[in-house]
Amino acid sequence: PAVQRPLRQTRTRKPFPESLPRDEKRLLPAAPCCPNCGGSLSYLGEDTAEQLELMRSAFRVIRTVREKHACTQCDAIVQAPAPSRPIERGIAGPGLLARVLTSKYAEHTPLYCQSEIYGRQGVELSRSLLSGWVDACCRLLSPLEEALHG
């Protein structure tokens, strides 16, 4: 008899604190009509993604809402494309990533100290998460480094 494997647990992110201010951006489909048949669109739903950003030394949550619309004639679903992020599927905005890198390399603040500082501001960012961000940023910036020293 085949042995059943336990189902893989899905990890969920800890939500950002509700006390953080939030800015909302709504992205609508580019055209008000169906790109396939030209029919009218009706509201279907929306996808929401949150990104943590650091602006003027204060955390903010940037909530991007992409509305989904369905064509009333051909049932096609139309949605604006998701905006690009520095780290694919990452929660950090460019300002926060710049702050982490500046603190680490220019101000010589270790990641465990940065984690404690952010924790005192009400945002729990683990050392391993910050380390992953630094690694991803180094990979993103490697073509620039090669161009400068190549």
- Identify the band that residue 56 occupies on the pLDDT scale cut at 50, 70 and 90: confident
Q: In terms of pLDDT, which residue wins out, 108 or 75?
A: 108
Residue 32: Cβ within 10 Å count: 10
Residue 68: Cβ within 10 Å count: 15
Closest among 57, 61, 64 to 98, alpha carbons compared:
57
- For residue 15, the 8-state DSSP code is P
- For residue 88, the 8-state DSSP code is T
Closest among 28, 79, 29, 20 to 51, alpha carbons compared:
20
SS3 state of residue 131: helix
The domain spans of the chain are 18-83, 88-150
What is the arithmetic mean of pLDDT over 99-115? Answer: 98
pLDDT of residue 1: 62
- For residue 103, the 8-state DSSP code is I
Residue 12 pLDDT > 80, yes or no?
no
The whole-model pTM stands at: 0.77
| 75: exposed, middle or buried (Cβ count in 10 Å: 0-12, 13-18, 19+) | exposed
